[in-house]
A and B are shown apart, each in its own frame.
Chain A
Amino acid sequence: MAGYQMKRTARIALAPSVLLLIVGMIVPLATTLWLSFRFYNFMNPTLGGFAGLSNYEFFLTDPAFLQAIINTLLLVGGVLAITVIGGILLGLLFDQPMWGRGIARLLMIAPFFVMPTVSALVWKNMLMHPGYGIFAWIAMKLGLPPVEWLSNYPLLSIILIVAWQWLPFATLIFLTALQSLDHEQQEAARMDGAGPFDRFIYIILPHLGRAITVVILIETIFILAIFAEIFVTTSGGPGYASTNLPYLIYVQALMQFDVGAASAGAIIAVVLANIVAIFAIRLAGRNLTA
């Protein structure tokens, strides 16, 4: 068959996806951009008209803005650190022969199937609650005062909840990658007298390179947008201690009804997310599409 015709078929095959994403992205983005230059408040219909850059100024000078950026990055960084390191360790562990490995693995992956709202509610009410929670009970058993997780360590608490959800995912990917590791090569290294640590650094870790990239890329996409966990547990507080960028935009849009400022915030978030995306995708792109 002619190569030309093949190319045409390929383009036609690609078109629906591209079109859907263009429509699904450009339309909201353009509307948001337009709104970001307007005075528009749900609860105050008398406001209106062209706002110039004042929405951007208002959002950027919000006392919570800088903190929200830092929190967003801390959230992504914290969860990635826990899930990548923890995931590799668990991957190594579950790669070992053990009795009942299948069932243990089923239990281990379960958190990944739990809805974010449910896991946030369960952690908040039944684990971290300083009065009735399991953690308070453990603290009491150890003779310690109960920790007020959500008021004193709000961001850390959210990182823990999110990491709990994503650790199984990371573990599964690393486990899959480890199982494809060449065992003869490992054996040979052992013969050469390489200790477990050396084998990990020189054989296993390089082998996991791509898997790590995949985990980082996918998790970053989802953790940049963390919302439900914050909404349910801390409402971004106390103060702004656990407000991330999506939550700040949400507060502007649906608690203050300032659609203009929220849209400006969304545009700023898109720009920032794309900066992160360029880094992440540069890193991943070379690995994944080369």
Chain B
Amino acid sequence: MRKSIIAFGAALALGGAVSSASAEEIVIATVNNGDMIIMQKLSKEFEDQTGIKLRWVVLEENTLRERLAADIATKAGQYDVISVNSYQTQLWAKMGWLTKLDDFSASYDYDDFIPATRQSLSVDGVMYGAPFYGESLITFYRKDLFEKAGITMPEKPTLDDLAGFAEKITDRENGINGICLRGKPGWGENTPLITTFVSALGGEWFDMEWKPRLTSEPWRQAMDWYLDVMKKAGPVGAATNGYNENRVLFSSGKCGMWIDATVTAGYLLDPKESQVSDTTGFAPFPVTDKNPQAAGWSGAWALAIPASVTDNAAAAKKFIEWATSKEYARLVGEREGWLLAPSGTRKSTYALPEYQNVAEPFADKVLAAISAVNPTKPTVNEVPYTGAGFIDIAEFQALGTTIGQNIAAALSGSKTADEALQESQAYAERTMERAGYYKK
């Protein structure tokens, strides 16, 4: 009896404390991916600690990007904390649209971040986006299917290796596709994947005069490889499969291989999420001898604050510091399972015995994949841009969208590879000319 009275009183007091402090309220706009949903869930902790109330706008990726761009470009200031990727961070920081995140407390330990991830979110050495997770590309494969087919995944597979394997393990009768790759059009979907293949084959988007190089030999080779392997071993409806769709396919046992973001590794080993948790293996992104350094892309989801936010900037910073701290990684591990701890951001996470315990099959490979990429020089030839998997110019979003559409059209068979590349080239020339990179 007495206990319950005390509990009741405590609840009252707590309620009072919360409601009196809830004057401060910040709006967070994030993408609806797994890590962000976990963040939303765990943030009750932050609200209790600080009394700051969090309101969430959780949107599908494309919708979110458009909304954020409109908001930040017009300085509408509807959101106090936004989730952005490396490309947006680079671009918007250079325009002065983001707030510097360089004054967190000493315990935040900036030097703990993996250099490649931190670099992709910094301009002139100043961090504008706090990494929530970092990623590169990795090859997921089914060890059981490889064994059955009598093949082994080499230490460093090549594009040709993977094409051969994909054909061998395809078993459409039983719903097994040899390989799943992104086909859904978008500058954040199929375009960065193809861009990385092109880099691996020694190609690039632009020459030093900003002339598009989309009909060059490496682009043709990349398209031929991609279309050929998808035709022989890809799933039906591949042209509408993006990251999410492929993740569902792979985790439900329908793909023999899948080349995609490293951040997925933990989820694929989680039996709650994945039916292939004990048969998934990990291998590096396929290289060619033409450009061994094109080993993936450098990407991150990060939290940032629009420069137009003033009143709530302090509270927003407090939240970001919390959500990207060492302690947060630990919190996720303890509450949600260590497999899901944010990957690709903090070296300290990889040093934790609890994390090593469960993440052993992939942790080193993920770390290696992220560290192997050099975003300042992703290509063989000299180029006027930086970024691995993206190009740090404002026009990339438009280019990536349209070129992704053309690639998808080639994949679905409504255009030939040549048509797709030629139309992309013409479109790129038109866009760059309009943006004033050169006169006709």
A–B direct touch in complex (beta carbons closer than 8 A): yes
Q: Which residues of A contact B (CB under 8 A)?
A: 41-45, 47, 58, 61, 63, 129-131, 145-146, 148, 150-152, 234-241, 251, 254-258
Inside 8 A of A255's CB, which chain B residues have their CB?
Answer: 66, 397-398, 401
**A148 CA to B408 CA, complexed, in Å:** 13
**Given A43-B397, A254-B69, A237 and B408 touching (CB < 8 A)?**
yes
Inside 8 A of A45's CB, which chain B residues have their CB?
Answer: 95
**Given A45-B95, A255-B398, A257-B394, A131 and B254 touching (CB < 8 A)?**
yes
**A234 CA to B237 CA, complexed, in Å:** 12
**Given A236-B405, A239-B406, A152 and B70 touching (CB < 8 A)?**
no
**A58 CA to B436 CA, complexed, in Å:** 14
Q: Determine whether B40 belongs to the interface, using a CB cutoff of 8 Å to chain A.
A: no
| Beta-carbon contact of A47 and B405 below 8 Å | no
Annotate B65-101 by CB proximity to A: 1 below 8 A, 0 otherwise. Answer: 0100110011000000000000000010001000000
**Given A42-B73, A44-B394, A151 and B408 touching (CB < 8 A)?**
yes
| Beta-carbon contact of A131 and B185 below 8 Å | no
| Beta-carbon contact of A146 and B423 below 8 Å | no
CB pairs A–B below 8 angstroms (13 shown): A42-B73, A44-B394, A44-B435, A129-B237, A146-B236, A151-B240, A151-B408, A235-B185, A237-B409, A238-B405, A238-B415, A254-B69, A257-B69
Q: Determine whether B269 belongs to the interface, using a CB cutoff of 8 Å to chain A.
A: no
Interface residues of B in 385-440 (CB under 8 A from A): 394-395, 397-398, 401, 405-406, 408-409, 411-415, 423, 426-427, 430-431, 434-436
| Beta-carbon contact of A151 and B70 below 8 Å | no
Q: Determine whether B281 belongs to the interface, using a CB cutoff of 8 Å to chain A.
A: no
**A255 CA to B73 CA, complexed, in Å:** 13
**Given A43-B91, A235-B186, A255-B398, A131 and B409 touching (CB < 8 A)?**
no
A53 CB to closest chain B CB, in angstroms? Answer: 14
Task: For the complex of A and B, list the 5 residue pairs with the smallest distance between their C-beta atoms, beginning with the closest.
Answer: A239-B409, A256-B398, A130-B237, A42-B73, A43-B394
**A239 CA to B236 CA, complexed, in Å:** 18
Chain A interface mostly helix, strand, loop or mixed? loop
Inside 8 A of B134's CB, which chain A residues have their CB?
Answer: none
- The residue in chain A whose Cβ has the minimal distance to the Cβ of B401 is A255
**Given A131-B249, A236-B405, A255-B401, A148 and B239 touching (CB < 8 A)?**
yes
Q: Determine whether B235 belongs to the interface, using a CB cutoff of 8 Å to chain A.
A: yes
| Beta-carbon contact of B69 and A42 below 8 Å | yes
- The residue in chain B whose Cβ has the minimal distance to the Cβ of A130 is B237
| Beta-carbon contact of B414 and A148 below 8 Å | no
**Given A131-B254, A235-B186, A148 and B412 touching (CB < 8 A)?**
yes
| Beta-carbon contact of B414 and A238 below 8 Å | yes
Inside 8 A of B430's CB, which chain A residues have their CB?
Answer: 61
Inside 8 A of B412's CB, which chain A residues have their CB?
Answer: 148, 151-152, 238
Residue count of chain B within 8 Å CB distance of chain A: 41
- The residue in chain B whose Cβ has the minimal distance to the Cβ of A145 is B236
**A176 CA to B69 CA, complexed, in Å:** 47
**A47 CA to B434 CA, complexed, in Å:** 10
- The residue in chain B whose Cβ has the minimal distance to the Cβ of A232 is B60
**A152 CA to B236 CA, complexed, in Å:** 11
**A93 CA to B10 CA, complexed, in Å:** 66
**Given A63-B423, A150-B240, A254-B66, A58 and B434 touching (CB < 8 A)?**
yes
B223 CB to closest chain A CB, in angstroms? Answer: 14
Annotate B170-202 by CB proximity to A: 1 below 8 A, 0 otherwise. Answer: 000000000000001110000000000000000
| Beta-carbon contact of B237 and A258 below 8 Å | no
Annotate B230-241 by CB proximity to A: 1 below 8 A, 0 otherwise. Answer: 000001111110
Q: Determine whether B221 belongs to the interface, using a CB cutoff of 8 Å to chain A.
A: no
Q: Which of A43, A131, A237 meets B236, CB within 8 Å?
A: A131
**Given A257-B394, A257-B397, A238 and B237 touching (CB < 8 A)?**
no
Q: Which of B73, B235, B237, B423 meets A257, CB within 8 Å?
A: B73
Inside 8 A of B409's CB, which chain A residues have their CB?
Answer: 237-239, 241
A63-B423, A235-B185, A239-B409 are known contacts; what are 15 more A-B pairs with Cβ within 8 Å?
A41-B394, A43-B73, A63-B426, A129-B237, A131-B254, A146-B237, A150-B237, A234-B240, A236-B405, A237-B185, A237-B239, A237-B408, A238-B415, A255-B398, A256-B401
Inside 8 A of A239's CB, which chain B residues have their CB?
Answer: 405-406, 408-409, 414-415
Q: Determine whether B33 belongs to the interface, using a CB cutoff of 8 Å to chain A.
A: no
| Beta-carbon contact of B427 and A63 below 8 Å | yes
Inside 8 A of A131's CB, which chain B residues have their CB?
Answer: 235-237, 249, 254
Inside 8 A of A42's CB, which chain B residues have their CB?
Answer: 69-70, 73-74
In this complex, the member of B91, B408, B411, B427 whose beta carbon has the largest number of chain A beta carbons within 10 angstroms is B408
In this complex, the member of A58, A131, A238 whose beta carbon has the largest number of chain B beta carbons within 10 angstroms is A238
Inside 8 A of B91's CB, which chain A residues have their CB?
Answer: 43
A272 CB to closest chain B CB, in angstroms? Answer: 23
Inside 8 A of B74's CB, which chain A residues have their CB?
Answer: 42
In this complex, the member of A45, A148, A239, A258 whose beta carbon has the largest number of chain B beta carbons within 10 angstroms is A239
Q: Determine whether B310 belongs to the interface, using a CB cutoff of 8 Å to chain A.
A: no
Inside 8 A of B238's CB, which chain A residues have their CB?
Answer: 151
| Beta-carbon contact of A240 and B405 below 8 Å | yes
